[in-house]
Structure 1
Amino acid sequence: MLGRGAASAGRLNWSAIALFGWRVAAVAAILAFAWEFILELLVCRWRRTWAVARLVMLETIRQKALWSFAVLLLLVLVGSWFIQVEQKDQWRTYVDILYRTLTILMVITATVLACFGLPNDIRRQTIHTQVTKPIRRLEILLGRMLGLIVLLSAMLLIIGNLGFLYVFREVSPLARASTMRARLYQLGDLHFEELDSEGRLQRKRTGTDVGDELVYRSHIRGGAPQEAVWTFYRLPPHLFDKSWQQRNRRLVAEFMFDIYRMTRDYEGGGAGGVAVLIRFVNPQLWDSALEAQYRQEAQELRYKEDWEEILARKYGFYEVPLHIADMRTYSVDFPTAIVERLTEGGVLQVRVACRSFGQYLGMGPNDLYLVVGEGSLYWNFMKGLLGIWAMTVMVIVLGSCFSTYVNALASMLLCWALLFLGIPQVQKFLGELGPENIHRMDVNPGGGPLEALYRLARGLPMATPLPDNWGITLMQRIDTGYGYLFRAVSSIVPDLYQYDRTLHVAEGFNIPSGELVMSIILLVGYVVPYILAGYYLLNAREIAA
């Protein structure tokens, strides 16, 4: 036994050494490829790079290449003539239209300027005046990128501020207070609890399956001993500040649930909706055995003005019964006193139960959240534009690097192809074609490319089993190879979902600063290899003798 264990440990050590060796070899290969670029970057001078950037900006302005922004200005001025929406949807609709239009316009403009700039300079031979001077080709490449980034960033800032004024002007004064917001929100972890036959609470990851195709939400049964429980860890520090608690006596939770109806008695909202009981609990204080005592004290104190805060502070418990309709957003407030006695590291629980017999209430992890403050609407709008700026920078880098080797039209097609493959819906489709999913009928019905072609040629339905022979096996193995190809394509295209913040701004949620920082880090990590490739391609190109 001892010898077998020693042999096993030896194999594990050799595996770790081999893995470490592969990592060292990978780093060494990257450094061997990039050492010239790194040395070139160290000797680049900011003044020469900025001189090229200024030249690019002047040429772009002189060529009137930014006239396309006049189209957006026209839409800003007259767009409201053609948009008729209800007051509660004005902010959401105008922000969505403005962001989508601005994204398309910025991407198209950046693609044209980046892809046609260097090839036009080479065709007109104006680049010879640069490469014959004491200036490095990396400085030329970086200068072209920097000039376009600065110019388009300024245009984005101007159009963004004009767009904010336009949206603010178009939204009615009555709807501004309820829709034009930047809510600071806190998400919790969702699990489900149910009483077993012995009266003990059983914790579950999912609730009752009602056969819905959308697996995001799980359901709880009305009138049954089931509850959905959100646990909020790491509450914001300002909630424990005494001065903040004195200024804000109530906290707000917002939610939207799905109702799976077994009868037709609960179609509307209000008193005819589904009955729901929401409980806010401080687990450090509350015990279900104290419920009878809590209700007795509630009857005695209910005529006092602050009876809810007194009981919340003492028991760490507060409940709200209400009726809700299907897929509508509701907000409930509860006393801040519940969190007053939470110690550092304590958690807050929100427990939801359905009280309407025969109905099912569905919820997902993000269907309930705490509103813990309000941010600046203007800065939140500007942070949303940062995602459009990131996509613009990406397009400028891609177009500039592609144009160092291929012509303008090919560069533009490559840029647009990468952007198309980076659309979230296309990314999801490519993920379903990976080697681990390409033969799964529940994820990818019909199989891979060859299997789908075979079924189409033979007229076989997608669910029909295929014959078991060597030809089918070979065809499926080739499809598995295609799966690895699709996964490789999915890993090299940009994930545009990381930069789209339209939903945050339109729905009135503050964009977390951490998400913006992560988006910028991902942007830098994505464009650096393209800059490296663009430098080598431009350096190897014969431009001037």
Structure 2
Amino acid sequence: MNLQREDFWSFYEWFFRPDDAFLESAAMKGIVLAVLGIVLGLIVGYVISASRYGSGEGFFAVARAVRDLFRFDLPGTRPRRILALAALAFREAIRRKVLYIVGLFIVLLLLAGWYLNPQSDDPARLYISFVLTATNYLVLALALFISAFSLPEDIKNKTLFTIVTKPVRATEIVIGRMLGFAAMGTAILIPMGLLSYVFVTRGLDHTHAEVADVRELDGGGFEGETDHTQFHSHEFTLDENGIGATEMVRGHRHLVTRNPDGSFEIGEATGALRARVPSYGSLVFRDRSGHLQEKGIDVGNEQMSGGYGSAGISRLIGMSKGSRKIEHGYVEGGGLGTAEYTFADVTPERYPDMIPIDLTLRAYRSYKGNIEKGIRGSITMKHPTKPIESNPIGFTVNEYEVDQKMLPLEMEGSDGTNARMLNVFEDLVDENGNMTVVIRCLDDAQYLGMTPASVYLRPTDHAFAWNLTKAYISIWLQMIMVTAFGVMFSTFLTGPVAMVATAVCVLLGFSAEQIYNTRYHIDIGQNAGGGPIESVVRLAKQDAMTTQLDVDSVTATVIKTVDAGIVYTLDALATSLPNLPKMVNTAEYAASGFDIFGALLARHTVATFGYVLLAFLISYFTLKAREIAA
């Protein structure tokens, strides 16, 4: 996972951005969207009223709607009528046979063996990604369908008034519909989540029945290899007491013990299903001469991947400058180049036995070298301010997977003058609990790439079941949001049109990050294939995206101007919509074995509540304009 700056923010930082960047905060975006949402609702209501009663009476109708909201409808909203309307929506969804979605999901799980690669290097990631992605798209499609069609049919058939003896208020209609459809989505999501957990755990559960090869070591202990099961085997090493573990293969390992009778017992797979709780540090680089640098070496294509990211309103009004996306910085091997991570809260309570450290590094070769060997690096622990450091621990880079290491609490090192045994907490951690970890590349003219999230300490792990539950909570929040948008559009559009409008909002939400990046490249004048029209022209002419557009200067100017207008418009729309890629990315956390931390889920919850509130206000004013509520 290539985490960005906003992924490290606490909820407070995300909501307020106290570092003089309030324009980029969620609070500022919420204020702007609330104003725009209310204005949009009033405009839509006025257009509907004016088309029926004329411009003058339409204005007074909208004014009465605003008055009624606070004077009559909100105070007069009754839970009994809301529940009655919610029950109606729930029963209507059942009549539409939406429960078949669960059956379709079961069929997908039963047929998963046909298209999931059994020889994957990371089967846990494959299985978790599959169930979360399938659930996400099925549930969002369900929410889109049931929320967009129900209300237009009830408005047309006037069936809303048959379920209660008293007049129904617009607030009750909107809230009831949203609650009913949300309840149906929840009723479907719960069994899908349970089935997903069973599918993942049962699919990854396996044991190795026997040891295929074993050798006794001269200094005591044993080493050997397990039998071949599920397309893999493990090498293992046991100490003189006959206790040890296998090497990490396909994201898991097994405990191995030697029994008194000389037989070997291999335990269940461990480590595949986890929720790592990483402790990230601050990162600085040193160049080949040992001088401090804010960024690492750019090996040639990193800046092309830059973008605005979640710069909020500041990006929309042109006040966001420079790339906001974190890209990999590289350190050169064979010199003084290093990447230095300083970690906080390194205490005996958090790391009582050893210090787990995980690496997800990239390797860049400036020449082929020995293709059978990976690029070598080293890890050194050092005091943040004093010339005390441990001896380097060598490793070979394992790209595209989490390389798990264990740092000992005592090891040989130097205090600046003498070589001696060092204790991590007594010699390498300062009085504030900080410790620095230095990453070096050992091979000349080769490079190691990293971001602030590429190296982290891992003080603990959380339960996989709870982490998967949080991933499903994120899917549930997305479903609530899509349902609210579907109900909103259905208050003033026909069913098919409301479904298309909601689908467009969902697609724009999913495309938000790509739209932000496209605007970034247009703003800095970087030729990355251009906007939509330029892309079509290049496809027709079969031109590469890195070459100049093969048209005359006037045509090129017109194309780029129109493209900029389209992209800026899409940027405004995408900014006003939920950033669904960030919400969907929780599945990546779970699939990659990272804990979905509480602040991230809190952000999604607050964002969902905000958009549901906006959809409610727009729905209310449009319904009042149509005089559905008495």
Q: TM-score, normalised by structure 2?
A: 0.68
Give me the CA root mean square deviation: 3.4
* Matched-pair contact (CA < 8 Å) for 1:110–1:395: yes
Q: Secondary structure at the match of 1:499?
A: helix
Could you say which residue in structure 2 is the equivalent of 1:226?
337
How many correspondences in the alignment? 476
d(CA) in 2 for partners of 1:106 and 1:86? 29
1:493 aligned onto 2:577: yes
d(CA) in 2 for partners of 1:157 and 1:30? 32
d(CA) in 1 for partners of 2:453 and 2:532? 34
Query: C-alpha deviations, 1:333-353, integer Å up to 9, x for none?
Result: 123562467467442211111
Q: Secondary structure at the match of 1:210?
A: coil
d(CA) in 1 for partners of 2:493 and 2:33? 29
Q: Secondary structure at the match of 2:605?
A: helix
Deviates more, 1:395-404 or 1:149-158: 149-158
Q: Secondary structure at the match of 1:279?
A: strand
Over 3 Å counting, the alpha-carbon distance change for 1:273 and 1:478 in structure 2 is closer
* Matched-pair contact (CA < 8 Å) for 1:266–1:274: no
Deviates more, 1:518-527 or 1:51-60: 51-60
d(CA) in 1 for partners of 2:457 and 2:508? 35
Query: C-alpha deviations, 1:15-52, integer Å up to 9, x for none?
Result: xxxxxxxx999999988966654453343222221222
Query: C-alpha deviations, 1:53-108, integer Å up to 9, x for none?
Result: 12222333344332222111222334335534137522211111111111111111
Q: Which runs of 5+ in 1 are unaligned?
A: 1-22, 288-314
User: Which residue among 357, 362, 365 is the counterpart of 1:261?
Assistant: 365
Letter in 2 for 1:429: Q
Over 3 Å counting, the alpha-carbon distance change for 1:120 and 1:497 in structure 2 is same
Query: C-alpha deviations, 1:121-156, integer Å up to 9, x for none?
Result: 233332232587233121011011111112211221
d(CA) in 2 for partners of 1:85 and 1:110? 33
Letter in 2 for 1:228: A
d(CA) in 1 for partners of 2:154 and 2:298? 63
Query: C-alpha deviations, 1:270-294, integer Å up to 9, x for none?
Result: xx3322111122325x41xxxxxxx
Could you say which residue in structure 1 is the equivalent of 2:377?
276
d(CA) in 1 for partners of 2:610 and 2:119? 43
User: Which residue among 189, 194, 198 is the counterpart of 1:165?
Assistant: 198
Once the 2 structures are TM-superposed, how far is the Cα of residue 367 of structure 1 from its aligned partner? Answer: 1.6
d(CA) in 1 for partners of 2:538 and 2:91? 58
* Matched-pair contact (CA < 8 Å) for 2:280–2:453: yes
* Structure (1 or 2) with the greater helix fraction: 1
1:117 aligned onto 2:150: yes
The 5 Å alignment of 1:129-528 reads: 129-130=162-163, 133-174=166-207, 175=252, 176-194=269-287, 196=289, 201-213=290-302, 216-233=327-344, 235=345, 240=347, 242=349, 245=351, 248-268=352-372, 272-283=373-384, 286-287=386-387, 317=390, 319-336=392-409, 338-339=424-425, 342=429, 345-423=432-510, 426-434=511-519, 437-438=521-522, 440-442=524-526, 444-446=528-530, 449=533, 463=548, 480-500=564-584, 501-528=586-613
Once the 2 structures are TM-superposed, how far is the Cα of residue 166 of structure 1 from its aligned partner? Answer: 1.6
d(CA) in 2 for partners of 1:155 and 1:465? 53
d(CA) in 1 for partners of 2:381 and 2:67? 59
Could you say which residue in structure 1 is the equivalent of 2:215?
none
Q: Secondary structure at the match of 1:321?
A: strand
Query: C-alpha deviations, 1:488-539, integer Å up to 9, x for none?
Result: 1221232111211111111111110110001111112223222111111111
* Matched-pair contact (CA < 8 Å) for 1:252–1:372: yes
Deviates more, 1:27-36 or 1:496-505: 27-36
* Matched-pair contact (CA < 8 Å) for 1:179–1:507: no
Over 3 Å counting, the alpha-carbon distance change for 1:179 and 1:24 in structure 2 is closer
d(CA) in 1 for partners of 2:160 and 2:68? 23
d(CA) in 1 for partners of 2:539 and 2:360? 43
* Matched-pair contact (CA < 8 Å) for 1:118–1:403: yes
Over 3 Å counting, the alpha-carbon distance change for 1:193 and 1:479 in structure 2 is same
Letter in 2 for 1:283: P
1:43 aligned onto 2:76: yes
Over 3 Å counting, the alpha-carbon distance change for 1:389 and 1:223 in structure 2 is same
Query: C-alpha deviations, 1:414-443, integer Å up to 9, x for none?
Result: 1111111111xx223322454x64364425
Could you say which residue in structure 2 is the equivalent of 1:309?
none
1:91 aligned onto 2:130: no
Once the 2 structures are TM-superposed, how far is the Cα of residue 394 of structure 1 from its aligned partner? Answer: 1.0
* Matched-pair contact (CA < 8 Å) for 1:116–1:408: yes
Letter in 2 for 1:320: I
* Matched-pair contact (CA < 8 Å) for 2:376–2:442: yes
Could you say which residue in structure 2 is the equivalent of 1:6?
none
Q: Secondary structure at the match of 2:287?
A: strand
Q: Secondary structure at the match of 1:134?
A: coil
Q: Which runs of 5+ in 2 are unaligned?
A: 1-29, 43-65, 208-251, 253-268, 306-326, 410-422
d(CA) in 1 for partners of 2:488 and 2:557? 42
* Matched-pair contact (CA < 8 Å) for 2:380–2:389: no
d(CA) in 1 for partners of 2:120 and 2:538? 52
Letter in 2 for 1:180: L
d(CA) in 2 for partners of 1:24 and 1:111? 27
d(CA) in 2 for partners of 1:343 and 1:266? 41
Could you say which residue in structure 2 is the equivalent of 1:308?
none
* Matched-pair contact (CA < 8 Å) for 1:438–1:448: no
* Matched-pair contact (CA < 8 Å) for 2:491–2:623: yes
Over 3 Å counting, the alpha-carbon distance change for 1:480 and 1:67 in structure 2 is closer
Letter in 2 for 1:208: I
Aligned-pair identity in percent equals 26
